[in-house]
A and B are shown apart, each in its own frame.
Chain A
Amino acid sequence: MFGCSSAFQRVAFLLMAPKLKPQRLHQIAETGAEQLVKRARTMSTQSSIKDAFSTYADYLNNFNEKRERVVKASRDITMNSKKVIFQVHRLSKDNKEEVLEKAGKDLEAVREQHFSRLMKELQGTDFWKLRRAYSPGVQEYVEAATFYKFCLSGALVTLDEINETLLPLNDPSLEPLQINILDYLLGLADLTGELMRMAIGRISDGEIEFAQRICQFVRQIHRELMLVVPKMDDSYDMKSKLEVLLQSVIKIENACFSVHVRGSEYIPMLGDNAPTSFLLGGADVE
């Protein structure tokens, strides 16, 4: 009888527990355990269980707090990297320099304000242990950095180049934070979606050559990723990304095809700065 009722109390306690503040919960748990110690004076092991579990509790508390901080930093990186991507999309024929200059500065701010926070948390084995917590932010950053750089120079920033830009952040007492291959590749796979949008936009703006350059670049990335993906640690994510990527390539190719086949009909229009675009108004013009 005694056993049953106490079990129900425990269940009730369990249901209640999450609403209490962690510290208070800790206290209650402790006094609960103390009572047990009293009840079981003959069992010397009782207190050793309690000691052991208070070590585990400390470990779990510290680690969960750390994880929270990493998740927050990752979210900030994602949010601000997205802003950089939007900024790069504002690019058009005549504002290239000023748009990209601002994007470059914003990117630097992401590094200085948020990557430095990540670095402090990801020393030693935590780098891999917390990968799930920071990976989304890092991927978004890779996407933004490669997107910006492609529009600036037409080239792909390599992982080594990205990691080099992270070095100045380092406190000499800490290990440098270096993005791993997997996150770089995942970010790169997302880049092609942005490039597709950019290519369509450039075509409607009359910058056909830019669009074709994008097309070649994206094809190349697709080809290379295809070879690398099966070898990745957990390739499930990446496989679905690769499919989306191929769709982007095809969309760009189709847009380039349309321009190629019917393009000459629109050249005069695309040449001037008329707001009518190839995609929107062009079809009716003979």
Chain B
Amino acid sequence: MAGTDDQVPPPPSSHSLEKQFESFRVQLEESAALREQIRAVVMEIESSTRLIQANLLLVHQSRPIPEVIEKAKEKINDLKKFYGQLAEILRECPGQYYRYHGDWRSETQAVVSQLAFMHWLETGTLLVHTEAEEKLGLNSLEFGLETEDYLTGICFMSNDLPRYVVNRVTAGDYDCPRKVMNFLTDLHAAFRMLNLRNDFLRKKFDSMKYDLRRVEEVYYDVKIRGLISGGDQGIQGQQS
């Protein structure tokens, strides 16, 4: 028995086995093609976000805020268009949003952080999840903004605030630290309502307290030198 060549007849399933793998190849190729399409759109989103960011960075050079925001806002329509395209692509495979989610995840977090910063500059308030979805023309039933992506984006925005405060003070805006400090304090308190897992979002949230501390230091420096004139001109004047 062992002396014969290993000419054991192929198992009966051999044909169906080949067939199955052939259909796997077709299906996987389809999903790879879909992914290509997604990537192309995500690259557009990425570059639009960069343009917005480049625009918003002018606030550090004390350009007038309305002018800066006006320019950045024009680009939001592009983002809206690209997210519309993504939703269109994903419509081909209902229920599989999260299969491909990783492909636009970090780009979307960056989008949220820019939108939220812009919104804060404009209104002094936090851009909430539903507002962010609205700005991007997203509909949470079909193609929504994942809550965790939104929250991560907000943490990214907080990371940018200390630099903003420092530069505003250098430019002579001594009331800015208090405004930012109050905003960040509220935001930090709100984040503490969340039971976070030990994941990326948790890490980002943990870094928020350093942003807050930095802003508090700047506020302290300004206040102790009596640079805050008049005091009660901020959003919130009770405690000074």
Contact with A along B169-194 (1 / 0, CB 8 A): 00000000000011001111111111
**B96 in contact with A209 (CB, 8 Å):** no
Smallest CB–CB gap between B220 and chain A, Å? 6
Is A32 among interface residues, defined by CB-CB distance under 8 A? yes
Q: Contacts A1-B220, A43-B236, A59-B147: A231 and B189 contacting too (C-beta < 8 A)?
A: no
Across-interface contacts of B35 in A (CB, < 8 A): 233
Which of B6, B17, B216 is close to A220, meaning CB atoms less than 8 Å apart?
B17
Across-interface contacts of B129 in A (CB, < 8 A): 52, 55-56
Across-interface contacts of B148 in A (CB, < 8 A): 60
Across-interface contacts of B189 in A (CB, < 8 A): 29, 32-33, 36
Q: Contacts A29-B192, A52-B129, A60-B196: A215 and B209 contacting too (C-beta < 8 A)?
A: no
Contact with A along B12-31 (1 / 0, CB 8 A): 11101110110011011101
Q: Contacts A36-B189, A53-B194: A155 and B1 contacting too (C-beta < 8 A)?
A: no
Q: Contacts A49-B187, A154-B12: A57 and B97 contacting too (C-beta < 8 A)?
A: no
Is B125 among interface residues, defined by CB-CB distance under 8 A? yes
* Complexed CA–CA distance, A185 and B194 (Å): 37
**A181 in contact with B195 (CB, 8 Å):** no
* Complexed CA–CA distance, A216 and B9 (Å): 9
Is B230 among interface residues, defined by CB-CB distance under 8 A? no
Smallest CB–CB gap between B124 and chain A, Å? 8
Contact with B along A32-44 (1 / 0, CB 8 A): 1100100110110
Across-interface contacts of B186 in A (CB, < 8 A): 36, 40, 43, 46, 49
Nearest-CB residue, chain B, relative to A231? B28
Smallest CB–CB gap between B175 and chain A, Å? 15
Q: Contacts A1-B220, A26-B195: A125 and B11 contacting too (C-beta < 8 A)?
A: no
Smallest CB–CB gap between B60 and chain A, Å? 23
Interface band, chain B: 35 or more
Nearest-CB residue, chain B, relative to A23? B195
**A45 in contact with B125 (CB, 8 Å):** yes
Q: Contacts A209-B1, A228-B21, A228-B28: A30 and B193 contacting too (C-beta < 8 A)?
A: yes
Across-interface contacts of B194 in A (CB, < 8 A): 53, 56-57, 60
Contact with B along A198-226 (1 / 0, CB 8 A): 00000000001100110111001000100
Is B165 among interface residues, defined by CB-CB distance under 8 A? no
Nearest-CB residue, chain B, relative to A60? B194
Across-interface contacts of A3 in B (CB, < 8 A): 181, 216, 219-220
Smallest CB–CB gap between A267 and chain B, Å? 7
Nearest-CB residue, chain A, relative to B193? A29
* Complexed CA–CA distance, A185 and B24 (Å): 9
A-B pairs with beta carbons under 8 A, tally:
184
Is A172 among interface residues, defined by CB-CB distance under 8 A? no
Q: Contacts A25-B195, A32-B189, A217-B11: A14 and B28 contacting too (C-beta < 8 A)?
A: no
* Complexed CA–CA distance, A66 and B24 (Å): 30
**B99 in contact with A233 (CB, 8 Å):** yes
Across-interface contacts of B98 in A (CB, < 8 A): 125-126, 128-129, 131
Is A274 among interface residues, defined by CB-CB distance under 8 A? no
Across-interface contacts of A169 in B (CB, < 8 A): none
Nearest-CB residue, chain B, relative to A217? B11
Which of B29, B126, B192, B213 is close to A7, meaning CB atoms less than 8 Å apart?
B213
Smallest CB–CB gap between B192 and chain A, Å? 5
Which of A7, A33, A263 is close to B190, meaning CB atoms less than 8 Å apart?
A33
Smallest CB–CB gap between B200 and chain A, Å? 13
**A36 in contact with B185 (CB, 8 Å):** yes
* Complexed CA–CA distance, A126 and B101 (Å): 12
Is A281 among interface residues, defined by CB-CB distance under 8 A? no
Is B197 among interface residues, defined by CB-CB distance under 8 A? yes
A-B contact pairs, 9 of them (CB 8 A): A22-B195, A56-B194, A60-B196, A129-B98, A155-B16, A159-B20, A213-B8, A233-B35, A256-B6
Chain A residues with CB under 8 Å of chain B are: 1-4, 6-7, 10-11, 13-14, 17, 22, 25-26, 29-30, 32-33, 36, 39-40, 42-43, 45-46, 48-50, 52-57, 59-61, 64, 124-129, 131, 153-156, 158-160, 181, 185, 208-209, 212-213, 215-217, 220, 224, 227-228, 231-233, 256, 259-260, 263-264, 266-267, 270
Closest CB pairs A-B (n = 8): A155-B13, A263-B2, A128-B98, A129-B98, A3-B216, A231-B28, A53-B190, A224-B21
